[in-house]
Amino acid sequence: MRFIADLHLHSRYAQGCSRDISIKQLEKWAKVKGIDLLGTGDFTHPEWSKELKDELVTEKNGIYYTATGQAFMLTTEISLVYTQEKGRRIHLVVFAPSFDAVDRITQYLLTHGRVDYDGRPIFKIPAWQFVKDLKAISEDIEIIPAHAWTPWFSLYGSKSGFDSLQECFKEQTKHIFAIETGLSSDVEMNDRLDQLKDIRYVSFSDSHSFWPWRLGREATIFELDELSYTNIIAAIRTGKGFWGTIEVEPSYGKYHVDGHRNCNVMMEPAETKEHKGICPVCKKELTIGVLYRVDQLADHPQKEDNHSQKFFKLLPLHEILSLVLGKGIATKTVWNDYWKILKAAKHEYEILMETTREQLLAVTSPEIADAIIAVREGRVAFTPGYDGVYGVPNFPGKTESYMKQKAVQNASKKPKAQKGLNEFFGA
């Protein structure tokens, strides 16, 4: 059986996240999206940990379930900020097999600082030491470098990262079996590095809300006889049962190419090199993006085929509808079309990956049906993201500037989705 998993997300106790995130909201929208297994996120935060223990009422083989049957795995993200030759800032995703392991991890972290101020707490622990210490707690704990290429807080980040796994994790590299690609890189880009030839690439949303244009926008697919913590970890470590990933086009990511948001400057790597990494407007250093870093560390050009693992490249359905309809992502118009389209399938992933054009035409317009199929088939070009600005899909006749304005205008609006949600669940 195939299981779609989004194992990197956050609670309302993490900075910069929706204050409305709850287990009940996550489980509802996971079902709408089609996510079989969710990460809990933020298990070290005392308030969220208490809520997890209250809401996850049953456990089977290291997987925890709500009263309605939504599966969760115990996960968190830790920020490490320390000095190793130079300042380093790296985020790590951590999976735990049980609440007992969670409590022991939390007790360990409390010897290095606080865990109650943020769902993603910060510690001055070198990455290699962190891995060594967690493995001493339990060999079943898994540590994965988060969004491995983004500039500011990652394994390979241009601002504070390393050039290799070995440089970061030293003798503890033997315990690193996967990296998270992040929005701005994908399988094809990572396959350019020989040092990653035995590493699995996982993709997760790093969602800061429960809305379906964030939750599950990237995910990992496992093919397992049974859903269990042991089987998930074995798939990551050995590849057996690891099917592939759901990703966005990396140009959509906020740090794909180089630039300065405030100066409205965006550059591909070749142009950045011509300018010696300096912004032509403010004369300061550009924020060097993921594509540049991959080029720096790559051993060979990008392959057209014969990739190390399978993958889909998709976009959240709300993103597609927003651009085609020319409306903000959380507007009533987009929501109405979203619920109409979902009548053709069990959940959003089925719409994005499997539903035929003929099935789509029964519930939506030819323009929207064609846009969904075009994204699925990789026929949509993107204006790439840079320096914290998301990339924009270029559908015919849809302007980049208009959608950026709409994104800003609707960022603070609470989406009105309850009527369609009630109908989806038959309420």
Q: What is the pLDDT of residue 399?
A: 52
Q: What is the pLDDT of residues 97-127, one digit of tens each?
A: 999 999 999 999 999 999 999 999 999 999 9
Give residue 418's pLDDT band: very low, low, confident or very high (50, 70, 90): confident
Mean pLDDT score, 383-388: 96
**Least confident window among 171-180, 205-214, 374-383, 393-402:** 393-402
Does the pLDDT of residue 403 top 60, yes or no?
Answer: no
Q: What is the pLDDT of residue 392?
A: 92
Q: Indicate the pTM of the whole model.
A: 0.95
CB 261 within 8 A of CB 288: no
Q: What is the pLDDT of residue 411?
A: 45
Give residue 426's pLDDT band: very low, low, confident or very high (50, 70, 90): confident
Q: What is the pLDDT of residue 414?
A: 62
The amino acid sitting at 224 is L
Name residues whose C-beta falls within 8 Å of residue 179's C-beta, 6 or more positions apart in sequence.
144, 145, 148, 155, 190, 196, 199, 200, 201, 202
Does the pLDDT of residue 405 top 60, yes or no?
Answer: no
Does the pLDDT of residue 282 top 70, yes or no?
Answer: yes
CB 216 within 8 A of CB 34: yes
Give residue 412's pLDDT band: very low, low, confident or very high (50, 70, 90): very low
Does the pLDDT of residue 407 top 70, yes or no?
Answer: no
Mean pLDDT score, 314-335: 95
Does the pLDDT of residue 427 top 70, yes or no?
Answer: no
Q: Measure Cα distances from 282 to 263, 265, 274, 290, 340 in Å.
A: 7, 10, 16, 22, 48
Q: What is the pLDDT of residue 410?
A: 46
Mean pLDDT score, 222-239: 98
**Least confident window among 209-218, 324-333, 417-426:** 417-426
Q: What is the pLDDT of residue 304?
A: 78
Q: What is the pLDDT of residues 157-167, one digit of tens each?
A: 999 999 999 99
Q: What is the pLDDT of residues 249-273, one digit of tens each?
A: 999 999 999 999 999 999 999 999 9
Does the pLDDT of residue 408 top 70, yes or no?
Answer: no
What CATH code is assigned to 2-252?
3.20.20.140
Mean pLDDT score, 191-211: 97
Does the pLDDT of residue 29 top 50, yes or no?
Answer: yes
Domain segments of the chain as ranges: 2-252, 317-379+397-424
Mean pLDDT score, 397-407: 51
Does the pLDDT of residue 406 top 90, yes or no?
Answer: no
Q: What is the pLDDT of residue 421?
A: 83
Mean pLDDT score, 404-421: 59
Give residue 402's pLDDT band: very low, low, confident or very high (50, 70, 90): very low
Does the pLDDT of residue 409 top 60, yes or no?
Answer: no
Q: Please give the residue that has the higher pLDDT: either 270 or 419.
A: 270
